Amino acid sequence: MQAMSSSITKDEPATELFTGWTKKVIGYVAILILVNVMVDTVLASPTFVLPELSDAFDTNQFAWIDSSAMLAGATWAPLLGKSADIYGKRKVLVITLIVAGFGGVVCMLAPHISVFVIGRVLQGAAVAALFLTVAIIRDICATKFSMVVTGIVTSGSAVFGIVSPFVLEFATDEFGWKFVFVVSAVFAGVAALCVRFVIPDSRNTAPGKVDVKGALTLGGGLAGVLAYISLGQEFGWLGAGPLVVLILGVAALLTWYFVLSRIPEPVINIRGISLSLGLGLLVVVMGTGAYRSMLQLFSLLIDVSPDEGLGYGIAGPGALGLMFGIPSIGIMLGGVVAGAIGTRIGNAWPLAAGVTLGTIAAFVMFTVGADNLPIAVVCSFMLSMTAGSLVTSGFNLASVLAPPERQGTVSSMVMVMVAVGSVTMSFIGSAILGANEIIVDGEALNSSTGVHAYIAVAGCAFILAAVPTFFLVRRMRTQVVPDAA
């Protein structure tokens, strides 16, 4: 088994690629999993306390509370991916962890929803941390081995997810919703120290410059279009404010595409995306979007008892832990299995399996699971396997198709798709629920029609994802994964 040179120190880049497990690899993997545990505390943990956050800030815009960090991540990702390729992945990862940790502190101390959203925007830097861990793996491991390690790193944080819902359910009852953000800030600080002093510096960097103007224009355009979906729900789809936001967002995207994407070193070389990578990105954006929207819905269903007779609701003893804890095993299983399968038959097949599982889970949830906790837990487990498979296979597909010196940039494209899909579907789901509210005893509640329409839209997203999946499988069925970089 080939190992890296023993002369490597914490400040020296790796000179050889690992092809198997060593003590060093295990140590690196443990730290990168810790980084992704922090990412989970940013992206997933707030969903456990959505009702409490809505009450604390007197708002029904739960999509903004839940998805503002992911939306910010879509803005951060291209800029940080390009920076990582130029200045080094370890350095940029440490910076993102520090920014995300500071964002957690802002959220914890926020006196108003606007300040809270600023904190979530800062926490959005954590989204970049996920794809940077994947890029670092590609820097230190040979191609086939890196695919297995990627599955473990991207889904290994789910081990924490098995126990965290049970712990957070108790802790938030005792200390309130702010405890979630204390945990996030602490994990960010510890992870930043571990990465800086243990993980080797980047082996592959590329000369160039970062197109900050292009990154901000692209991110601003995405934010504008997605914000319209949320604002239109409250202020009207033809309201002056939402329409201005939409027009500015579309104008920014068009400016980026026709002007800024044509410069010699664009933040994302969209015209250089191969057909295979493009198909993979389409699968990721729709599949992960559907999964994330369902995760958000589960948080709302847990807050309603089926005894209320609304036609939905799964509240019960330990419901939070059952819905978010046990299914974490599915994320880990889906990611690890997808990585192992990818080394043998390519990454298109695990993507197809993930889309199939997600479609089945959405159908079962729509028909019998919205008011049945045991069935909802099974569906959540299946959707978690979908998430693990899609994320791992998406990153592995990108790493195989991209040269070593562009791993950060190409991995950021995958993360942008994850973020865009998640935010879009969450906002669409929020709009569906808002448009179908009912009044019970003077209180506005989600209707059964809204909940089931929400699930149906997520199921349709999985079905749509099957289309590019089919063509990707046909295109890559003869793919041979190389043994080395």
255 and 124 inside one domain: no
Measuring CA to CA, how many Å separate 298 from each of 230, 315, 370, 454, 462? 19, 10, 9, 11, 17
For the segment 454-467, the average pLDDT, to the nearest whole number, is: 94
Q: What does DSSP assign to residue 165? A: H
Which stretch of 66-70, 87-91, 299-303 has the lowest confidence by average pLDDT? 66-70
In sequence order, what are the beta bridge partners of 141? 18
CB 446 within 8 A of CB 433: yes
Q: What is the mean pLDDT of residues 447-469?
A: 93
d(CA 308, CA 362): 23
Does residue 485 sit within a domain?
no
DSSP 48: G
Same domain, 324 and 407: yes
pLDDT of residue 59: 66
Please check whether residues 261 and 278 belong to one and the same domain: no
Residue 447 backbone phi and psi in degrees, to 5: -95, 165
C-alpha to C-alpha distance for 359 and 372, rounded to whole angstroms: 19
Query: Looking at the domain assignment, is residue 443 inside a domain?
Result: yes
Which of 266, 292, 308 lies at the terminal end of a domain, its last residue? 266
Using alpha carbons, list the distances in angstroms from residue 129 to 48, 91, 136, 358, 412. 22, 11, 10, 26, 10
Say if residue 30 is in the same domain as residue 170: yes
Angle, helices 407-435 vs 448-476, to 10°: value is 150
pLDDT tens figures, 106-124: 988 888 878 888 888 888 8
Alpha carbon 455 to its chain's center:
19
20-65 pLDDT, tens digit per residue, is 889 889 999 999 998 888 888 887 777 667 677 777 777 666 556 6
50-64 residues labelled b (16+ CB within 10 A) or e (exposed): bebbbebbeeebbbb
Q: What is the largest CA-CA distance in the chain?
A: 71
91 and 185 co-located in one domain: yes
β partners of residue 444: 439
**Do 328 and 279 fall within a single domain?**
yes
**pTM for this model (two decimals):** 0.78
Domain presence at residue 10 = no
Structure-model confidence comparison of residues 146 and 57, the more confident one:
146
Domain with 39 in it: what CATH number? 1.20.1250.20
Mean pLDDT of 333-346: 86
pLDDT digits (tens, 9 = 90+) for 272-310: 788 888 899 999 999 988 988 888 788 788 888 888 888
pLDDT digits 0-9 by tens, 214-251: 888 887 887 788 778 766 666 777 778 888 988 999 99
Q: What is the mean pLDDT of residues 319-333?
A: 78
- Measured in residues, the chain has a length of 485
Say how far apart CA 431 and CA 435 lie, in whole Å: 6
Q: Which residue among 266, 286, 305 closes a domain?
A: 266
Q: How far apart are CA 399 and CA 77, in angstroms?
A: 16
Q: Are 162 and 225 in the same domain?
A: no
Q: What percent of the chain has pLDDT over 70?
A: 86
Give domain status of residue 1, yes or no: no
Containing structural domain, residue 221: 211-266
Residues 246, 204 share a domain = no
- Neighbouring C-beta atoms of residue 441, cutoff 10 Å: 5
Residue 481 maps to a domain:
no
Last residue of a domain, one of 248, 266, 284: 266
* Domain total in the chain: 2
Mean of pLDDT over the chain: 81
| pLDDT value of residue 68 | 74
Residues 273 and 354 both lie in one domain: yes
The residue type found at 447 is S
Query: What per-residue confidence (pLDDT) applies to 479?
Result: 54
Residue with tokens 């832990």: 321
**What pLDDT was estimated at residue 138?**
84
Q: Which residue(s) pair with 438 in the sheet?
A: 445
What band does 204 get if pLDDT is binned at 50, 70 and 90? low
In this structure, is residue 281 part of a structural domain? yes
**Helices 373-401 & 328-345 angle (0-180, nearest 10):** 40
Confidence check: pLDDT of 374 > 50: yes
The whole-number average pLDDT for the span 162-166 is 69
Please say whether the beta carbons of 143 and 399 come within 8 A.
Answer: yes
**For residue 64, what is the enclosing H or E element?**
helix 62-87
User: Do 291 and 256 sit in the same domain of this protein?
Assistant: no
232 lies in some domain: yes
My answer on whether 87 and 232 are in the same domain is no
- Residue 453 in any domain: the answer is yes
Q: Could you tell me if 444 and 432 lie in one domain?
A: yes
Q: What is the rounded distance in angstroms from the CA atom of residue 225 to the CA atom of residue 248?
A: 8
